[in-house]
Amino acid sequence: MSKDLNVGKKIRDLRKTQQMTAKQLANDARISVAMLSLLENGSTSGSIETLRKIAKVLDTTLAHLFTNDKIINKYHDDESSFVVRKNKRKKISFQDPLYNYELLVPNLQGDIEFLLINLEAKRLTNEIIPHTKGGEECDYVLSGEIIVTLVDQEFILYEGDCIRFNPALAHKIENKSLKKASYISVITPVSF
């Protein structure tokens, strides 16, 4: 990700373009005005769940919050428009240091979200949430083990196992083991 990227500034700009007050956005996104202020001022990066709620209220995608470009041109001549080299993956980090994404496609402007997700040992979460859209999610475990909870049913997946579900279902993915786990996640349509 570019060092010049400022998600908070993008949120503030979108909010102001829509002539929305900070209080309106915070209320509609069900977060505190103080949290929104911290986000907009760059004092915190916020959780992915918080950013997803804000994006929904602003009628945009999570991906759009993470881009510097106002308009994404889908067609370029250079290789980076088509190929993602191992050492040039865009990394998306969150407040949760036990959880990070690497983008396996050049950007999130297409119809598919393709990610490498790393969960450190003992990465647990209490939040069980649906994505904002339906479609399909398919997760393939590369290493370690993950636990996928769909509504109230748990599935333990080991290296080589795969699961497919509708991401509109309330769900969470955890690593309760003592070893790091990595998996590839494919989601359509793009949920970021």
CATH of the domain at 93: 2.60.120.10
Burial of 13 from C-beta contacts in 10 A (0-12 / 13-18 / 19+): middle
Q: Pick the more confident residue, 169 or 156.
A: 156
Spatial separation of the C-alpha atoms in residues 192 and 175, rounded to whole Å: 22
Residue 67 has pLDDT above 80, yes or no: no
Q: How far is CA 32 from the centre of its chain?
A: 21
Confidence band for 163, pLDDT divided at 50, 70 and 90:
very high
Residue 2 has pLDDT above 60, yes or no: no
**pLDDT computed for residue 93 by the predictor:** 66
- In this structure, are 125 and 160 located in the same domain? yes
- pLDDT above 70 covers what percent of the chain? 88
Average pLDDT over residues 43-71: 76
Task: Quote the Cα angle for 151-155-161, to 5°.
Answer: 135
pTM: 0.64
Examine residue 106 and say whether the peptide bond preceding it is cis (omega within 30 degrees of 0): no
Q: Does residue 72 lie within any of the structural domains?
A: no
- In this structure, are 178 and 118 located in the same domain? yes
Total domain count for the chain? 2
Q: Pick the more confident residue, 134 or 71.
A: 134
- In this structure, are 84 and 179 located in the same domain? yes
CB 192 within 8 A of CB 113: yes
Average pLDDT over residues 179-186: 96
**pLDDT computed for residue 77 by the predictor:** 57
pLDDT tens profile 73-99: 444 457 877 888 999 888 876 667 788
- In this structure, are 103 and 54 located in the same domain? no
**pLDDT computed for residue 175 by the predictor:** 95
